[in-house]
Amino acid sequence: NMSTDKEQDYFADGIAEDVITDLSKISGLFVIARNTSFQFRGGSLDLQQVGRKLGVRYILEGSVRRASDQVRINAQLIDAATGGHVWAERYDGKLADVFAVQDKVTARIIDALRLQLTSTERQAVASRETEMPIAYDAYLRGNRFYYQFSVQSVQFARRMFQQALQLDRNYALAYCGLANCYSYLYMHHSQSDENLSRAEQYGKKAVDINSSLAAAHAAHG
């Protein structure tokens, strides 16, 4: 997050997580998961050392700057073996264009690595759980607070996921977020029947909306 407002960390994290998710849909790639790769955020890094530690050939490094509804994303693909740049680009746009920018970043990586995608993979990479940037923003805020894993932060996350659903009633990931929140509250706050039933209800709803979404099955489980 290169914004002057550190509260925008949630937005930068969300962009990174979405690119990770998109790349993970491609069978020809071994992609490091969110929780592992996020350990290397910030600070001065020896990218060749990071590459050896993770066992990867390429590293995608980037930054996000957001001011009001303006967004700038810098991204660079680095050969971890040599430390050299494969490509580097800057994308400017409005918040409403954020999905298109994510698609451009993913497409450039696919081109740079000369990957051949199946039609199913192309469709999966191009799919979005919502077409509403405001709902997406509320979901990212919720995700940020959910991962702080405290009762107070999860209760706030729950309100953000509910806000996202008020904007898009078919937003499967927001239902996943609610299911995870109620599961957490059941385990760490109040083992009430209501928390348990709502966790199952929202997890099932996410699966009903998109049965191919891994996060939906994880939340329901």
Tell me the mean pLDDT in the region 26-36: 89
Tell me the mean pLDDT in the region 3-25: 88
In tens, the pLDDT along 66-123 reads 888 888 999 999 999 999 999 999 988 888 888 888 888 888 888 888 888 889 888 8
Q: What is the mean pLDDT of the chain?
A: 92
pTM: 0.84
Kindly tell me if the per-residue pLDDT of 34 is higher than 90. Answer: no
Specify the pLDDT at position 27: 86
In tens, the pLDDT along 162-213 reads 999 999 999 999 999 999 999 999 999 999 999 999 999 999 999 999 998 9
Q: Which residues have a Cβ under 8 Å from the Cβ of 45 and sit 6 or more positions away?
A: none
Tell me the mean pLDDT in the region 8-32: 90
Residue 44 banded pLDDT, cuts 50, 70, 90? confident
Specify the pLDDT at position 56: 94
What CA dihedral angle connects 71, 33, 157 and 68, to 10 degrees?
A: 0
Specify the pLDDT at position 219: 96
Specify the pLDDT at position 141: 95
In tens, the pLDDT along 121-149 reads 888 888 889 999 999 999 999 999 999 99
Specify the pLDDT at position 173: 97
Encoded tokens for 113: 């690595």
Specify the pLDDT at position 161: 98
